[in-house]
Structure 1
Amino acid sequence: MTQSNVAAREAAAVIPPQMGPVDSAGKPRYKLGPLYVTLPLANLALYLVWMGVGSFLIPMQVTAIKGHNDPDALKNAVAIGAALAAIGNPVFGQISDRTRSRFGRRAPWMLLCAGLGALALIGQANAKSIGVLAITWGAVQFILNGYQAALTAAMPDRIPAEKYGIFSGLVGLGIPLGIVVSAYTIGGIDLSKLGIDGIVGGFDGKFQGENGYYLIAGILIAAMLIFVFLSPDKSSKGMPVEKFNFGKFLSNFWVNPKQHPDFAWAFLSRFGVVAGYFIVLTYNFYILMEYIKIKPQDTPSTMGFLMVVNAICTVIASIVVGKLVDRFGVIKPFVLGSGVLAGLSLFIPMIWASVDGMTAFNIVNGFAFGMYMAVDMALITKVLPRGEDAGKDMGLINIANAAPQVAAPFIASWIVDAGGYEAIFPVAACIALAGSVLVVKVKSVR
């Protein structure tokens, strides 16, 4: 009997009978058909919150509260939320790992967190000060990272290894599709660059305030219900669970880099790539007004157009690269390629400070980010220390998404104070490139 067969039999032994047949790796078999739609849809709803609220509604809300563009106020409004996100993801991930119910380990937390997150969004819609905005956004980030922890665990829980590439690409579609929906509904999309007069969407600014929050909250609830009921989890009632020990609960948040070096290097690689992305994204609204010199009334639709350009390129690259990963079984070359391309793209606005320059930047950057999103989840899933702790481990690795969002506003603010908005781009380029290069240290993945 081969070592892989032994491992499969041992893994299958911990699967309770009601979870049904298992695959060659001992993972319960699920119907993949619904997940091709419900998983990216649930991720879309999540990123509609992160992109729609984070990129559009919060900068607009900060400007409305302060009466002018205030980078420091924006930094204060978003930093608390990102810090709580870094805490929430691994906490909820580990709790969901321990959950035993007839609805599975993840569904109860998706239901609870989506409901509470929607209520927090409604509260944020009515924030009238930077302090209240920071607190409510913090609550949204903390709660919805519980939703994200449960959702991202679906891939190691349910998807067979030979499908990691295509599903990584589908999950990665959440970001560009979230951008497109946000741009269309909140900012509108200025089509003048395509030779077409007028703005598509935008709805005369109807969703550039409280209504935008209400719309996003409703979409979040709808997507969660579709995922939970059309692609239900299997019962976890028969799965063994260790007696709760608070000390061990806390210690589980540490993954020893000496014992699991690939996990550590993958974490650092993701941290760098995401930090480079968010240093620019956090101040994107103000970059267009203060550096590119777009009129305030034209900024939402211009930003909408640029974000859609970026999203389309991201989608194309994500789908193509996802298929290539499954075909050739290699991941690291695409991570490296995405980092180099992202680094090069960030130099474009430095030498071409115009809407055309920003369009070129978003085309190249979109392809780079699409390459990365197509392989990111596949890479991370392959280096998880233990499959039974997938929720906790995915939560820990997701700190590499949240922690850069904590640091990015402060880093960007310091850069702007020291060298102006144009200095943001080379710093972000170096950080993103460094993150992608670190992937060569991951030895267990080709």
Structure 2
Amino acid sequence: MSAQNVNAGSPSEWTGKTSNDDQPHFPTRIAIGLAIGAFCWIVAYLGAVAVLLPARVAEIDSVDKAAIIALNSTISMVVATIANLIIGAFSDLTRSRFGRRTPWIWVGAIGSLVSLFYLGRVTTATGLIATWAIYQIFLNAIIAPLIATIADRIAPRYRGSAASAYALGVGVGAGLGQVIGAQFIGDISFGFIILGVLTVISAPAASFCFRELSSLPMPKKTFSRKMVLDHFVFARHDARDYYLALFGKFFIMVAKFSVQGYILYILTDYLLLERSEAGRYISITATIIMIAGIAMAFVSGPIADKLGRIKLPVVLASLLIAVGVFLPYFAPNPTMIILYSVFAGLGLGIFNAVDQALNIAVLPDPETSAKDLGILNFAATGGQIAGPLLAAAAITTVGYHALFLVSGCTAIIGAILFMMIRRVR
């Protein structure tokens, strides 16, 4: 029995799942809530991390600003990863008349507003790093329940489209985040408040669009060794496809960040462009990737749902990314960088639109969906760290040619791992 039919039968039968029979029509309201929620958290996050936070660091300590940013990024990444997992687990265990996910989104939204408010007023580097780490905790209290809502409330036949709605919100928010942040570079404190207000919108949007039913009828979990292992530790049973998806995503993220993380140096040291010209090409490639991402968010999920295939578009996306990151290997000229952004942009757009639907399809246990999706997020975090490290090793030992060869191979490995998944077509 699904969340949609919780009042139709015995409360003890409700598992929090939604089947195809339970949902004959596409849940437009929930999809809109997913898009709004995704937009709200990422537009504020990118406006802060890319514009206002560095500006605030420069105000606090202009001499050591680079070191402060590096330390802050490392700490925040660790905190965000742990928070995503733990909050996801507590969300799975939450029993309230407001549901499992909505209360956490409200906590995250309000906590993010308060954190961003204080970020505009801290006067020391230590205070800034601590406040930003706290902000990461509240931010993930929005992200983890939002993604888990797809697993809870969307039937398998519509998960591609719902994941696309979430990806569309991410794509639009990512494109506007830095633009909005830049408007407040002259008044950083007020800019943080505006970003906090944008984040808060995710909470009423979730309440209105999701209309999550009470989770009180769900059986409560008693504290035990098994409960801790099930809800706070890596999946242990029926998890073959789950781990193939995790490592497949990891290798795709490595391919993505190994090139993106060094795009400036690729343009100046490999293509031998002047810094001003390199800046122009960075803007061009970023625009192409953003437009491709938004366009693919509109079409990839619905097409995947219509075909009844989620794995196929993820594999196709991985191969497009492989082609894109490999193309500059052939010639050090700007044309190859443009082609890279086209192929990789299309691939990343499809991947971001459908990846969450694949992740949900391979979850070992629907009762621990938020926690298991949080663990899958390790792949994105790990790839963001490992990509630049692998790129540095390739460039240092062989040269830039090796970077593109290695990046292409990692994307192909990701495609192979996705193809090995058995549970999903």
Per the alignment, residue 424 of structure 2 pairs with: 445
Out of 52, 71, 74, the residue aligned to residue 76 of structure 1 is: 71
Asked whether the 8 Å contact 2:254–2:410 carries over to 1, the reply is: yes
Sort the Cα spacing of 1:92 and 1:69 in 2 relative to 1 into closer, same or farther, 3 A: closer
* Identity among equivalent pairs (%): 25
Q: Residue 331 of structure 1: CA displacement?
A: 2.4
Sort the Cα spacing of 1:89 and 1:364 in 2 relative to 1 into closer, same or farther, 3 A: same
Q: What CA distance in whole angstroms lies between the structure 2 residues aligned with 1:419 and 1:134?
A: 37
Per the alignment, residue 242 of structure 1 pairs with: 221
Per the alignment, residue 88 of structure 1 pairs with: 83
Cα deviation, 1:276-318, whole Å, max 9, x if unaligned, reads 323444566787788754449x95x975654333111112223
Out of 199, 203, 211, the residue aligned to residue 220 of structure 1 is: 199
Q: Residue 436 of structure 1: CA displacement?
A: 2.8
Sort the Cα spacing of 1:387 and 1:154 in 2 relative to 1 into closer, same or farther, 3 A: same
1:35 aligns with 2:14: no
Per the alignment, residue 370 of structure 1 pairs with: 349
Residue correspondence of structure 1 range 178-257 to structure 2 within 5 A:
178-186=173-181, 203=183, 205-206=185-186, 209-245=188-224, 248-250=227-229, 252-256=231-235
Out of 352, 358, 366, the residue aligned to residue 387 of structure 1 is: 366
Asked whether the 8 Å contact 2:105–2:206 carries over to 1, the reply is: no
Sort the Cα spacing of 1:302 and 1:24 in 2 relative to 1 into closer, same or farther, 3 A: closer
Partner of 2:92, secondary structure, is helix
Q: Residue 87 of structure 1: CA displacement?
A: 0.9
1:177 aligns with 2:156: no
Partner of 1:243, secondary structure, is coil
Per the alignment, residue 191 of structure 1 pairs with: none
Partner of 1:52, secondary structure, is helix
Q: What CA distance in whole angstroms lies between the structure 1 residues aligned with 2:295 and 2:302?
A: 11
Per the alignment, residue 434 of structure 1 pairs with: 413
Aligned residue identity for 1:180: G
Asked whether the 8 Å contact 1:55–1:281 carries over to 2, the reply is: no
Q: What CA distance in whole angstroms lies between the structure 2 residues aligned with 1:127 and 1:349?
A: 44
Sort the Cα spacing of 1:286 and 1:261 in 2 relative to 1 into closer, same or farther, 3 A: same
Per the alignment, residue 306 of structure 2 pairs with: 327
Q: With structure 2 as the length reference, what TM-score do the two structures score?
A: 0.82
Asked whether the 8 Å contact 2:46–2:178 carries over to 1, the reply is: no
Asked whether the 8 Å contact 2:105–2:141 carries over to 1, the reply is: yes
Asked whether the 8 Å contact 2:43–2:174 carries over to 1, the reply is: yes
Residue correspondence of structure 1 range 271-310 to structure 2 within 5 A:
271-282=250-261, 293-295=274-276, 306-310=285-289
Q: Gaps (5+ residues) in structure 1?
A: 187-201
- Relative to structure 2, which stretch is displaced further, 241-250 or 389-398? 241-250
Q: Residue 62 of structure 1: CA displacement?
A: 6.0
Per the alignment, residue 117 of structure 2 pairs with: 122
RMSD: 4.0
Sort the Cα spacing of 1:205 and 1:163 in 2 relative to 1 into closer, same or farther, 3 A: same
Sort the Cα spacing of 1:344 and 1:108 in 2 relative to 1 into closer, same or farther, 3 A: same
Q: What CA distance in whole angstroms lies between the structure 2 residues aligned with 1:387 and 1:94?
A: 12
Q: Residue 157 of structure 1: CA displacement?
A: 0.8
Per the alignment, residue 156 of structure 1 pairs with: 151
Q: Gaps (5+ residues) in structure 2?
A: none
Aligned residue identity for 2:372: D
Q: Residue 105 of structure 1: CA displacement?
A: 0.8
Sort the Cα spacing of 1:347 and 1:61 in 2 relative to 1 into closer, same or farther, 3 A: farther
Q: Residue 49 of structure 1: CA displacement?
A: 3.9
Cα deviation, 1:350-386, whole Å, max 9, x if unaligned, reads 6676776654433322211111122211111111112
Per the alignment, residue 260 of structure 1 pairs with: 239
Q: With structure 1 as the length reference, what TM-score do the two structures score?
A: 0.79
Aligned residue identity for 1:100: R
Q: What CA distance in whole angstroms lies between the structure 2 residues aligned with 1:310 and 1:121?
A: 29
Sort the Cα spacing of 1:401 and 1:121 in 2 relative to 1 into closer, same or farther, 3 A: farther
Partner of 2:140, secondary structure, is helix
Sort the Cα spacing of 1:69 and 1:20 in 2 relative to 1 into closer, same or farther, 3 A: closer
Residue correspondence of structure 1 range 333-352 to structure 2 within 5 A:
333-348=312-327
Aligned residue identity for 1:103: F
